[in-house]
């Protein structure tokens, strides 16, 4: 077992273990916190795959942004913190068949894929992916790139709508 494999199994373990805490935890805030380790483990695996820019993006956007948003969302709602979330088992038969079908599909993909296995994975030349991503974004994929900015604009406008509703609410008591 070389260094590369040890690191891989370490990150894989962190990812899977914390992801199962997310799924099985009865406390919603524990679930949100353990997502931190899931994202971190995934970022580590990206680094092992030489996708350094993607790993950093994973940390900056998912850990630094989306998870903070999730935590704020959980903390914002009263009494979700101390009560157990327990959903009863309903439609067991339908759920089981969907799960079986999905598992079959994933298993099929898993067995039929031509996996790229290289013994030299750890020794791939150190080269940054950010330069290639940048060139691709500005030259070949320039239209999707600009469209992304328009989508972000739409999201910002949506966020502002949320704030405006809050603004009106807080104005009512002060106008009396």
Partner 1 sequence: MEISPVIEALIKIIVVIFFILLPCVAYLGVQLERKLSAWIQNRVGPNRVGPYGLLQPLADIPKLFFKEDIVPAAANKFVHSLGPLISLTIAFSTFAVMPFGDTLPIVVNGVVHNISLQIANVNIGVLYVLALSSLAVYGITLSGWSSNNKYSLLGGIRSSAQMISYELSLGLSIIGIVMLSNTLQLNDIVKAQSGYYLFGFLPNWNIFVQPIGFITFFVAMFAETNRLPFDLPEAEPELVAGYHTEYTGMKFGMFMLSEFLAMFAAAGMITTLYLGGWQAPYIEYLNLSPFVVSLVQVGAFFTKFALIVVFFMIVRWSMPRFRYDQLMNIGWKVMIPLSLLNIALTGLFILKPIHTWFN
Partner 2 sequence: MQSYIPIFLMIGVSAFLGIVFLVLQRFLGPHRPNPEKLSTYESGMPPVKSARERFSVKYYMVAVLFILFDIEVIFLYPWAVNFRALGLFGYVEMILFILILLVGYLYILKKGALQWD
Q: Tell me the C-alpha to C-alpha distance, in Å, between residue 172 and each of 157, 159, 161.
A: 23, 21, 17
Binding mask 8-37 for partner 1 (x = CB under 8 A): ---------------------x---x--x-
* C-beta of residue 32 within 8 angstroms of C-beta of residue 74: yes
What φ, ψ does residue 91 adopt, rounded to 5°? 45, 50
| Residue from 12, 52, 122, 133 binding partner 1 (CB under 8 A) | 52
Instruction: For residue 2, state whether it binds partner 1 (rule: CB under 8 A).
Output: no
| Residue from 163, 172, 175, 176 binding partner 2 (CB under 8 A) | 163
Q: Give 26 or 164: the residue with its C-beta nearer to partner 2.
A: 164
- Among 24, 26, 21, 69, residue whose Cα is nearest residue 41: 21
* C-beta of residue 152 within 8 angstroms of C-beta of residue 76: no
Instruction: For residue 45, state whether it binds partner 1 (rule: CB under 8 A).
Output: no
**Binding-site partner at residue 63 among partner 1, partner 2, none, CB < 5 to 8 Å by type:** partner 1
């Amino acid at each position: 077992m070389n260094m590369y494999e040890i690191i891989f199994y370490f990150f894989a373990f962190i990812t899977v273990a914390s992801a199962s805490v997310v799924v099985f935890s009865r406390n919603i805030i524990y679930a949100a916190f353990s997502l931190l380790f899931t994202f971190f483990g995934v970022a580590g695996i990206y680094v092992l795959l030489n996708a350094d820019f993607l790993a950093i993006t994973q940390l900056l956007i998912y850990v630094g942004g989306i998870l903070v948003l999730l935590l704020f969302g959980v903390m914002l709602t009263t009494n979700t913190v101390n009560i157990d979330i327990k959903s009863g088992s309903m439609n067991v038969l339908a759920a089981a068949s969907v799960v079986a079908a999905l598992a079959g599909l994933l298993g099929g993909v898993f067995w039929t894929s031509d996996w790229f296995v290289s013994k030299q994975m750890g020794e791939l030349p150190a080269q940054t992916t950010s330069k290639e991503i940048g060139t691709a974004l500005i030259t070949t994929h320039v239209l999707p790139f600009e469209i992304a900015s328009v989508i972000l604009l739409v999201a910002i406008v949506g966020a502002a709508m949320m704030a405006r509703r809050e603004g009106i609410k807080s104005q009512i008591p002060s106008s009396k």
